Amino acid sequence: MTTRMPIPAPATLAVLAVFALIAAVAAPAAAQEDAAAPAKAAQEGPHYSLAADAAAGMILAADGLYPASADSAAVWTVQANFLHRLEAPGWGMVLSHNVDISGQAATAAAPSFSPTTTVYEAYARLDIGEWTQLFVGKRRMGLGIGSTFAPGDALDPRSGFWDQKTGFRGIDLAASIGPDISLRAALSLDRSFDAYAAGMEKKTAASAFATAPSDAAAQAAAGQAAAAYAAALDGAAGPADPRLFTYALSAEAQLGSVQAAVAGVYARGDADSVERPSIGVSVDLSGLILQAEGAAELSGAPDWYASAGARYTWSNGPSMLSLSADYDYNGRAGLLKNAHYLLPYASYTLDQVFNLYARALVELEAPSALLSLGLTLYPAEGFDLELTGLFGLGGPGAEFSSIQSFAVLPSPGTGVLSSAIGFAARVHF
Amino acid sequence: MSLRQRSAKPSALRFAAVLICLASIAFPLSGAPSSSPTADEILAGVDRALFLESYTSTVTMETVEPGSQPRSMTFEGKSRKDKGTYLEITAPARTKGTRFLQLDGSLWMFNPKAGSANALRLSSQDSFQGSTFANADVGKSQFSDDYAPQLAPEAKLDHPELGAVPCYVIESKARSDASAYGKIVMWARKSDFMPLRMEYYAKSGLLFKRMTLSKIRSFGSITRPSVMAMESLDKKGTVTTLTMQAMEAKDVSLSVFGKNYLTR
Q: Quick one: pLDDT at residue B3?
A: 41
Distance from CA of B203 to the nearest CA of A (A): 13
Q: Residues 6 or more apart from A11 whose CB is under 8 A from it? A: none
Q: For residue A411, what pLDDT band results from cuts at 50, 70 and 90?
A: low
> Which residues on chain B are in Cβ contact (under 8 Å) with A147?
116, 118, 120-121
Residue A26 has pLDDT above 90, yes or no: no
The contacts found for B195-200 with CB under 8 angstroms, 24 or more apart, are B195/B46, B195/B49, B195/B50, B195/B225, B196/B157, B196/B159, B196/B162, B196/B165, B196/B167, B196/B225, B197/B157, B197/B159, B197/B167
- For residue B196, count CB atoms less than 10 angstroms from its CB and return exposed for 0-12, middle for 13-18, buried for 19 or more: buried
Q: Are A160 and A1 in contact (CB under 8 A)?
A: yes
Q: Quick one: pLDDT at residue A344?
A: 96
In this complex, is the C-beta atom of B62 within 8 Å of any C-beta atom belonging to chain A?
A: no
Q: Are A330 and A365 in contact (CB under 8 A)?
A: no
Mutate which: B102, B255, B262, vs A, most A CBs within 10 A: B255
> Which residues on chain A are in Cβ contact (under 8 Å) with B119?
142
CA atoms of A393 and B17, how far apart (whole Å): 91
What amino acid occupies position A402? S
High-pLDDT (> 70) share of chain B, %: 83
Q: Are A308 and A151 in contact (CB under 8 A)?
A: no
The contacts found for B220-223 with CB under 8 angstroms, 24 or more apart, are B220/B247, B220/B248, B220/B249, B221/B52, B221/B249, B222/B49, B222/B52, B222/B55, B222/B247, B222/B249, B223/B49
In this complex, is the C-beta atom of B93 within 8 Å of any C-beta atom belonging to chain A?
A: yes
B96 closest CB neighbour out of A51, A127, A182: A51
- CA B63 to chain CA centroid, nearest Å: 19
B115 closest CB neighbour out of A150, A163, A184: A163
Domain extent listing, chain B: 1-30, 39-262
Q: For residue B134, what pLDDT band results from cuts at 50, 70 and 90?
A: confident
Helix (H, G, I), strand (E, B) or coil at B257: helix
CA atoms of A410 and A82, how far apart (whole Å): 27
Of residues A334 and A405, the one with the higher pLDDT is: A334
> Residue A318, Cβ neighbours under 10 Å: how many?
19
pTM for the model stands at 0.76
Average pLDDT over residues B84-111: 86
CA nearest A91 in B: which residue? B264
Q: Quick one: pLDDT at residue B124?
A: 67
What are the residues facing B121 on neighbouring strands? B108
A287 closest CB neighbour out of B125, B248, B253: B125
CA atoms of A327 and A154, how far apart (whole Å): 18
> Which residues on chain A are in Cβ contact (under 8 Å) with B96?
49, 51, 428
- Computed over every residue of chain A, the mean pLDDT equals 78
Of residues A10 and A339, the one with the higher pLDDT is: A339
Q: Which of A7-16, A47-56, A83-92 has the lowest mean pLDDT?
A: A7-16
Residue A234 has pLDDT above 70, yes or no: no
Q: Quick one: pLDDT at residue B128?
A: 81
E strand or H helix that includes residue A201: helix A190-209
Q: Which of A199-203, B146-150, B171-175 has the lowest mean pLDDT?
A: A199-203
Q: Which of residues 129-158 of B touch A (CB under 8 A)?
A: 129-130, 132
Average pLDDT over residues A79-94: 91
> Which residues on chain B are in Cβ contact (under 8 Å) with A131?
254-255, 258
Distance from CA of A318 to the nearest CA of B (A): 5
Q: Quick one: pLDDT at residue A337?
A: 86
Q: What is the DSSP string of A182-197?
A: EEEEEEE-HHHHHHHH
In this complex, is the C-beta atom of B98 within 8 Å of any C-beta atom belonging to chain A?
A: no
Contact across the interface for B260 and A175, Cβ inside 8 Å = yes
Find the largest Cα–Cα distance for chain A: 80
Q: For residue A149, what pLDDT band results from cuts at 50, 70 and 90?
A: confident
In this complex, is the C-beta atom of B70 within 8 Å of any C-beta atom belonging to chain A?
A: no
Q: For residue A74, what pLDDT band results from cuts at 50, 70 and 90?
A: confident
Helix (H, G, I), strand (E, B) or coil at B121: strand
Region class of B97: left (phi > 0), else alpha (psi between -120 and 50), else beta: left
Residue A171 has pLDDT above 90, yes or no: yes
Contact across the interface for B246 and A42, Cβ inside 8 Å = yes
Q: Are A133 and A110 in contact (CB under 8 A)?
A: no
Q: For residue range B8-44, what is the model confidence (pLDDT) as tens digits? A: 455 555 655 554 544 444 444 444 555 689 999 999 9
CA-closest candidate to residue A123, choices A64, A81, A182, A170: A170
In this complex, is the C-beta atom of B182 within 8 Å of any C-beta atom belonging to chain A?
A: no
Residue A173 has pLDDT above 70, yes or no: yes
Please give the C-alpha separations between residue B154 and each of A80, B25, B26, B92, B158, in angstroms, as whole numbers. Answer: 59, 20, 18, 42, 13
What amino acid occupies position A243? R
Contact across the interface for A282 and B121, Cβ inside 8 Å = yes
Residue A110 has pLDDT above 60, yes or no: no
Q: Quick one: pLDDT at residue A420?
A: 83
Of residues B158 and A255, the one with the higher pLDDT is: B158
A252 closest CB neighbour out of B90, B93, B259: B259
Q: For residue A414, what pLDDT band results from cuts at 50, 70 and 90?
A: low
CATH class of B39-262: mainly beta
Task: Provide the terminal-to-terminal Cα distance of chain A, rounded to the nearest Å.
Answer: 22
Residue A306 has pLDDT above 90, yes or no: yes
- For residue B23, count CB atoms less than 10 angstroms from its CB and return exposed for 0-12, middle for 13-18, buried for 19 or more: exposed
Q: Quick one: pLDDT at residue A14?
A: 44
Q: Quick one: pLDDT at residue A7?
A: 41
Find the largest Cα–Cα distance for chain B: 93
Q: Quick one: pLDDT at residue A37?
A: 41
Contact across the interface for B118 and A85, Cβ inside 8 Å = no
E strand or H helix that includes residue A25: helix A9-36
Residue B4 has pLDDT above 70, yes or no: no
Q: Quick one: pLDDT at residue A159?
A: 77
Q: For residue range A175-207, what is the model confidence (pLDDT) as tens digits? A: 888 768 889 999 999 988 888 787 777 767 666
Contact across the interface for A127 and B255, Cβ inside 8 Å = yes
A164 closest CB neighbour out of B69, B116, B120: B116
ipTM metric = 0.70
Task: Provide the terminal-to-terminal Cα distance of chain B, rounded to the nearest Å.
Answer: 80
Q: For residue range A28-69, what is the model confidence (pLDDT) as tens digits? A: 444 444 433 444 444 467 889 899 999 999 888 766 544 445
Q: What Rg value do the Cα atoms of chain A yield, rounded?
A: 24
Distance from CA of A56 to the nearest CA of B (A): 16
Average pLDDT over residues A289-311: 92
CA nearest A290 in B: which residue? B121
Q: What are phi and psi of A8, to 5 degrees?
A: -55, 140
Average pLDDT over residues B83-107: 86
High-pLDDT (> 90) share of chain A, %: 33
Please give the C-alpha separations between residue B82 and each of A378, A415, A427, B54, B181, in angstroms, as whole numbers. Answer: 39, 62, 40, 10, 19
Contact across the interface for A42 and B245, Cβ inside 8 Å = no
Average pLDDT over residues A356-364: 94
Contact across the interface for A174 and B260, Cβ inside 8 Å = yes
Residue B197 has pLDDT above 90, yes or no: yes
Size of interface A-B (CB pairs under 8 A): 180
Q: For residue A342, what pLDDT band results from cuts at 50, 70 and 90?
A: very high
Q: For residue A377, what pLDDT band results from cuts at 50, 70 and 90?
A: very high
Q: Quick one: pLDDT at residue A172?
A: 94
Q: Quick one: pLDDT at residue A356?
A: 97
Q: Quick one: pLDDT at residue B107?
A: 81
Q: Are A239 and A193 in contact (CB under 8 A)?
A: yes
Mutate which: B113, B231, B235, vs A, most A CBs within 10 A: B113
